Chains A and B, each alone.
Chain A
Amino acid sequence: MTPAGFTVAFAALFWGLGGAIWLLMRRRYTLRQIPQFFMDLLGFPVELAQSLFGRAGVPYALLLPNMLIFGFFTFLPMILNFYVSFTGGASISLFDRPWVGLEKYADIFTCENYLSPKSCSNPGYNFWTGMFNTLWFVLIQVPILCVAALVTALVVNQNIRGRGFWRAMFFYPVMLSPVVIANIWNWVLHRKGALNASVGEARDAMTGLAGLSGFDMVATVIFAVILLVVSERSLRSNDGPSGSWTAVFGVLIAMLVYWSQPLSLIGLPGSGWLGLALAGGLYWSVSTGQSFARMAIIGAGILAVIMLLMIQFDAVFSFGRYRPINWLVTPNTGWPFFWLVFVFCWSHMGFYMLILLAGLQAIPSDLYEAAKMDATKPFRAFYRITLPLIMPTLTVVLVLSLIRSFQIFDEVYLLTGGGPGRETFMVVQNIYEVAFANDHPDYGQAAAGSILMAIVIAVFTFFQLWLTRRQSDL
């Protein structure tokens, strides 16, 4: 019998038999109180503590199981991590591991050029590739996730029908397991899968439509009518242009600029950015209630008409033959990384949305009523009321999603396996592979990697908390 088994057997005997005798000696149970007896037996250590030390001993007994588990399975490993990282060899017995000092750290830091992981030693290469990919992932992922969650929470918080339904739908992917999520997206993103098929069909249909004679003219007229309606709508209201219609107008302008490529006249690229900047400027001027907002919209409208006449719509909508993309496998395209970010957002956004929604609903509605009395613009109300009051919740969401994204493993491991090449190889996968998926497990190396990762996470978290120190209520 192993010592652990012996201990368990002894504890069971003491608890079950000893507790039963102890209880039966002190209390009387009728036949109907048998459930009561087992309930008391379950709490026997607490009862014992109360009878030995009085009421003062009870809280310690109550905290004991939780603290034992925290101690053995969280704090002890945390400390042990340092010890393991200073030892070498593949032995699982802690006393059997030779002390190697800082060698494992030195391995990671053996680099000729600290900016390129390729010049490092092998463990260093794996670790720094994982670390850089993870940092990159976190920097892209966290803002996107938080903005998406905030926008969704704002929309769901509107006065809409079926709020419970929408909220539940956005939360649903959070319930799905990583394996299920990976299988679903593997299936959709397969080279012959649903996504490639529908993109291909849509493009073929559009190309076919653009090939019809007179398509150019019809498209120009339709766009002109849409522009007319939207600009009229956004200018209609007496107290300044309408924000939402301006947003639609801005999207249209951005599309027109992108298609007509005005900068190519003077031989410059980047018309797409120009369009986005124009749309953003328009929306900013309207939402902040600038006096020239109306003139800006009219000016943009005139510009839009000129650009509309420049566009050859057949050329814009003629896409040519579509080659299915192997989304998760093709190297050097950035697609595997993109889909990783997308799937992570897809599966985690609902959770952060719910937290933000709770924060939004805690904002007293009379603030908005007061703002309405003062004829405050919705954008201004968002900037001056919603954002400052949601900031504490947003900080929590930022910190949580940051820690969460840093630890990304399941989704990558199951979707891309770190590939193609090492494009999506994350730091936790490095730790996992070094320690557990290796013929010669190097626990010391993995532990050293964990500690470095812990340091990076801590630095990031504190930096973020410091940035938002005034708003934080963590």
Chain B
Amino acid sequence: MSRLTTFLSRTAGNGPDRAERIGITDVLAYSYLFFGVLIILVPVLWTFFSSIKSDTAVESFDTRLAPMDQISEMIEDVGEKDVWIYTAEDGSTQLVYKAGPTRKVTDVAPVDDPGAVFKVPRTSLAPHEEMRVAVENYLDPILKRNGQDNFHFFTYLYNSVFVTVIATMVTLLINAMAAFALSKYRFRGRLTFTILIVATLLIPSSIILVSLFFVVWSFGLFGSLWGVIIPAAATPTGVFLLRQYMLTIPDELLEAARMDAASEWRIFWRIIIPLSLPALSVLAILSVIWRWNDFLWPLIVLISDPASHTLQLGLTQFAGEFDTNFHYILAMTVVTLIPITLVFVWLQRFITTGIATTGLK
């Protein structure tokens, strides 16, 4: 027994200065982490499990985890009816359907013998259920079945992917160019440019909302996806992140390339870009997160034209239109969070260490 407790309570590693057993500090630390993860994961998982429940289960706020759905059967001369299990006083059970409105004493009839109506107390009826994943929650809005033709999923997805991919590529290219200039050249006005870029870091985007709208309008970008892509393509964070990284690339490499008469652009493309791939990929991931999740600016620029809604906007509109159709809203919420979750699961170590080591400073 004592060996068992020792085994269960040992700690990671066995260096000379480590305790061999878990102390109270470890217990406190692990319970903090455990509850934290619980608070983070439970709402997300609950949303997922709710999204695969049938519409009746969702609308009646079924709090069971499994997607239980009441079976309904086609009954001759009556039509489609929900099936209930009637438990008689002697303990025998029978499959019945309700032949009249639900009252304290309800009229029911057996499924096998639809004519034989009899009265039972309401409390002796329990729904006859089966476990079923409600795929239609997902398929109806996506394939526009069952009158769900307001959620243009593929249009939204295309717009979101278009904005995310193009904006990330533009951001990477122009930020890398600016960072290259600031880190590898000595020129008049370098300090001025650096200060200008720091200054943009201090101008919050929601302050310039109104006049940015005027500028974007005068450029004729209002209502088009480019109006979302271009204004935020230059990011001070990105420039600084890349500049810090490029400062560590030795100048000798550049000099050697210049000896071989490479043009500056080729040096940038052939030497600087490949060598700063780690920082570039961190910026790429940040940019993808920013663009995929962007809300306020797309809301202003794109809201009037449903054909150019991004996934986020489409989901907002969808949730606003059908306040009661929770099952579709939940399913579409899960669809929206899946791509970013997959990217995260796939790259999580890279993202967290990347942001922690290069991020922001």
Contacts and interface: CB of A to CB of B under 8 A. Distances in A.
Task: Indicate the size class of the contact surface on chain A.
Answer: 35 or more
Interface stretch (B87-95, B131-139, B147-155, B226-234): B226-234
Interface string B320-361: 000000100110010011001101100011011001110111
27 contacts: A2-B220, A43-B268, A46-B264, A47-B264, A63-B177, A66-B178, A66-B239, A67-B178, A70-B197, A77-B210, A77-B214, A169-B40, A172-B44, A172-B344, A175-B341, A175-B343, A177-B337, A178-B295, A178-B312, A194-B43, A351-B355, A358-B356, A396-B361, A409-B295, A446-B209, A447-B210, A453-B207
Interface string A439-471: 000010011001101100100010000000000
Given A40-B265, A46-B265, A70-B234, A159 B47 contact: no
B234 A242 contact: no
Chain B contact residues: helix, strand, loop or mixed: helix
B52 to A, nearest CB: 13
Given A50-B263, A80-B214, A155-B29, A167 B352 contact: yes
Interface stretch (A105-113, A203-211, A244-252, A264-272): A244-252
A406 interface: yes
A343 B97 CA distance: 44
Q: Which of A4, A74, A160 has the most CB of B within 10 A?
A: A74
B211 A187 contact: no
Q: Which of B37, B181, B202 has the most CB of A within 10 A?
A: B181
Given A62-B180, A180-B333, A164 B352 contact: yes
B174 interface: yes
A80 B293 contact: no
Interface of B: 11-13, 17-18, 23-26, 28-30, 32-33, 36-37, 39-41, 43-44, 46-47, 50, 61, 63, 174-175, 177-178, 180-182, 185, 187, 190, 193, 196-197, 200, 202-220, 230-234, 239, 263-266, 268-269, 289, 292-293, 295-296, 299-300, 312, 315-316, 319, 326, 329-330, 333, 336-337, 340-341, 343-344, 348-349, 351-352, 355-357, 359-361
A193 interface: yes
Interface in A79-113: 80-81, 83-84, 92, 94
A170 B356 CA distance: 13
Contacts of B30: 160
A410 B295 contact: yes
Nearest to A187: B47
Contact of B208 (A74, A160, A180, A248): A74
Nearest to B265: A43
A10 interface: no
A370 interface: no
A181 B269 CA distance: 40
A169 B41 contact: yes
B265 A47 contact: yes
Nearest to B294: A177
A198 B213 CA distance: 46
Contact of A170 (B37, B174, B265): B37
Contacts of A78: 203, 207-208, 211
B83 to A, nearest CB: 25
Nearest to B190: A59
A39 B206 contact: no
A61 to B, nearest CB: 8
Interface string A142-172: 0000000001100110111100101111111
Contact of B210 (A158, A159, A161, A431): A431
Contact of A166 (B33, B200, B230): B33
Chain A contact residues: helix, strand, loop or mixed: helix
Given A63-B177, A170-B36, A355 B210 contact: no
A55 interface: yes
Contact of B40 (A172, A197, A453): A172
Contacts of A60: 181, 187
Nearest to A245: B24
A377 interface: no
Given A188-B43, A357-B356, A74 B203 contact: yes
B185 A58 contact: yes
A381 interface: no
Given A77-B208, A178-B295, A457-B204, A70 B50 contact: no
Contacts of B351: 168, 171
Contacts of A443: 210, 213-214
A447 B217 CA distance: 16
A426 B313 CA distance: 20
Nearest to A351: B355
A299 interface: no
B293 A177 contact: yes
A66 B177 contact: yes
B352 A407 contact: no
B214 A84 contact: yes
Contact of A67 (B185, B193, B208): B193
B77 to A, nearest CB: 36
Interface in A211-235: 233
A65 interface: yes
Contacts of A432: 209, 296, 299-300
A461 B199 CA distance: 14
Given A81-B207, A159-B13, A171-B351, A355 B269 contact: no
Nearest to A65: B174
B33 A156 contact: yes
